[in-house]
Structure 1
Amino acid sequence: MKHKATLIVMMAITLLASCNRNKTDETAKQVDTIPEMVMHIQKCSRLYTAEYTFHKIITHQDKKTIKASLFKTDMSFDIPMSERKIAIPMDATVKAYIDFSNFSEKNITKYGNKIEITLPDPRIIMTSSKINHEDIKKDVSLMRSNFSDDELLSYEKQGRDQIIKAIPQTDILERAKMNAANNIIPMIKLMGYDEKNITINFRKDFSNNINNLIDKTTIEHGK
């Protein structure tokens, strides 16, 4: 009986040591997954999470005028048969993305088996714009010259500017945030975290003023 009791005690000690070792190994593994997690998320680089296609008709109309002054009064007169009109169909693609190049361990907070990831602010960019030259409609009077390539480029720029101003009327920002979370959560689950313990959010002082998130200067053709 004495030997049996001693054996039981030794087995209990061995089991306790094994449990403590497993617990220590599990804790170490959880700590070690953070750098690995950062590395995998950084590999996303620029993650595009939402896309909108805009179709717009750009219109322009002008006519020649004569300016004169009579009795110190300025006057202007339209020249007959000098009117020009044009309607230009244009398609543009706008995308929302998240740039993970500066993502770091500062973006990750752990509470036991729970993990919270704060994503960088979404950004919005027009990635392409194209004029459908075959469907351009124009009416040019005999006394006027045709629209030049420079004028067409100018009208295209006006169209892009108008589309950018219309972006806040869409839900692209909310879609970008939701889709970003849907892309990141499976990656975190593969590292052993339960989905119910994963929280994806954005910084607390994140501004929903979409105009601050739009890149109004760059067009990345071919994206």
Structure 2
Amino acid sequence: MKYLFFYIFMSVVFFCSCSQHKTTEISNESPIDTIPQMIMQIQRTSRLYTAECKVHKIITHDDQKKISGSFMSKDFSINLPLGNRKVAIPMNATIKAYIDFDNFSKENIRKKGDKINIILPDPKLVLTSSKINHREVKQYVAFTRSDFSDAELTSFEKQGRQAIINDIPHLGIINQAKESAARTLIPIIKQMGYTEENIIITFRKEFTISDLPTLLDYSTIEKINN
């Protein structure tokens, strides 16, 4: 009976010792850092085309011959009869936005508690096509005037293309790019244990017309111009 009590006592001591050791090991474990894995997954998306916008614009030019001068210290400007020229050039263009994640890093991530903010790289905009339907070009040229030259028409086309580019901030394509990127990235981030309501996808700022020179992919636009 004495030996039986001894064995029971030693078993209890051994069990308690193991339990205490196991508890100590668990408490020493550090939480897993999922940020490096998240960065690697996002970088794999590489260049993500996120939005596309088709634009139709009619370029107009009105060229009126005038006589200008001064008479009795008063300036005057008179439109010449039958001296008018007009042209309307319909132009179709396609604008695409993409985000390049090749250089995505921890600098693009802000984490606070359970919330995580992904700051997207600046979007890039490309004018992937710019076409004129020459059959629908309308011209009115008074018989006293010469037709528009090819050089003049080419100049008007360039002005129209630039007008389309200037309209980009008003087309909503930048916001579309952000929303599309969010639809791609949120599932990746949720796999890392974050809930959707705690995920914020933003750009570093609101982009305006003054930002266009830094956002445009001029290599594509130059090919179209040539």
CA drift at 1:100 = 3.1
| Alpha carbons 1:140, 1:146 under 8 Å: kept | yes
Tell me, in whole angstroms, the C-alpha distance in 2 between the residues paired with 1:148 and 1:45: 45
Tell me, in whole angstroms, the C-alpha distance in 2 between the residues paired with 1:142 and 1:153: 22
How has the CA–CA distance of structure 1 residues 210 and 12 changed in structure 2, closer, same or farther, with 3 Å as cutoff?
Answer: same
Amino acid of the structure 2 residue aligned with 1:52: C
How has the CA–CA distance of structure 1 residues 4 and 122 changed in structure 2, closer, same or farther, with 3 Å as cutoff?
Answer: same
Question: In the alignment, which of 14, 19, 24 is matched to residue 12 of structure 1?
Answer: 19
1:137 aligned onto 2:138: yes
How has the CA–CA distance of structure 1 residues 183 and 68 changed in structure 2, closer, same or farther, with 3 Å as cutoff?
Answer: same
How has the CA–CA distance of structure 1 residues 81 and 196 changed in structure 2, closer, same or farther, with 3 Å as cutoff?
Answer: closer
| Alpha carbons 1:48, 1:95 under 8 Å: kept | yes
Amino acid of the structure 2 residue aligned with 1:95: K
Instruction: Tell me the equivalent position of 2:3.
Output: none
Scaled by the length of structure 2, what TM-score is found? 0.71
Scaled by the length of structure 1, what TM-score is found? 0.72
SS at match of 1:214: helix
Amino acid of the structure 2 residue aligned with 1:59: T
Tell me, in whole angstroms, the C-alpha distance in 1 between the residues paired with 2:154 and 2:63: 17
How has the CA–CA distance of structure 1 residues 212 and 63 changed in structure 2, closer, same or farther, with 3 Å as cutoff?
Answer: closer
Instruction: Tell me the equivalent position of 1:212.
Output: 210
Q: Name stretches of at least 5 consecutive residues in structure 2 with no aligned partner.
A: 1-7
How has the CA–CA distance of structure 1 residues 155 and 219 changed in structure 2, closer, same or farther, with 3 Å as cutoff?
Answer: farther
Greater CA drift, 129-138 or 3-12: 3-12
CA drift at 1:53 = 1.9
Q: Deviations over 1:98-142 (max 9, x none)?
A: 343442212223446553322234454544322111211122344
How has the CA–CA distance of structure 1 residues 116 and 178 changed in structure 2, closer, same or farther, with 3 Å as cutoff?
Answer: same
Higher Cα radius of gyration: 2
How has the CA–CA distance of structure 1 residues 212 and 75 changed in structure 2, closer, same or farther, with 3 Å as cutoff?
Answer: closer
Which has the larger strand fraction? 1
Amino acid of the structure 2 residue aligned with 1:214: L
Instruction: Tell me the equivalent position of 1:54.
Output: 55
CA drift at 1:190 = 3.3
Aligned residues: 214
CA RMSD of aligned residues (A): 3.6
SS at match of 2:148: coil
1:2 aligned onto 2:9: yes
